[in-house]
Amino acid sequence: MGLVADHPAPTIRTERLILRGFVAEDFAAHEAIMAQPEVQEFLGPPMSRSDHWRRVISSVGMWSVLGYGGWMVEYDGRVVGNCGFFDAQRGIEPIWDGQPEMGWIFGKDVHGKGVAGEACRAALEWADANLKRDIWAMISPGNAASFKLAEKLGFDLVQRSDLDENEKIDVLKRSYTG
Residue 42 near residue 51, CB atoms below 8 Å: no
Residue 15: predicted pLDDT: 96
Q: Which residues contact residue 171 at a Cβ distance below 8 angstroms, ignoring those fewer than 6 apart?
A: 92, 93, 94, 96, 136, 137, 138, 157, 158, 159, 160, 161
Residue 4: predicted pLDDT: 55
Residue 97: predicted pLDDT: 92
Q: Which helix (H) or strand (E) is 12 found in, with range?
A: strand 12-13
Domain boundaries, the chain: 12-174
Tell me 176's DSSP state.
-
Residue 35: predicted pLDDT: 92
Residue 1: predicted pLDDT: 46
Annotation: CATH topology of 12-174: Aminopeptidase (3.40.630)
One digit per residue, pLDDT tens: the chain, 178 residues? Answer: 455 557 889 999 999 999 999 999 999 999 999 999 999 898 888 889 999 999 999 989 999 999 999 999 999 999 999 999 999 998 888 899 999 999 999 999 999 999 999 999 999 999 999 999 999 999 999 999 999 999 999 999 999 998 888 888 999 999 998 8
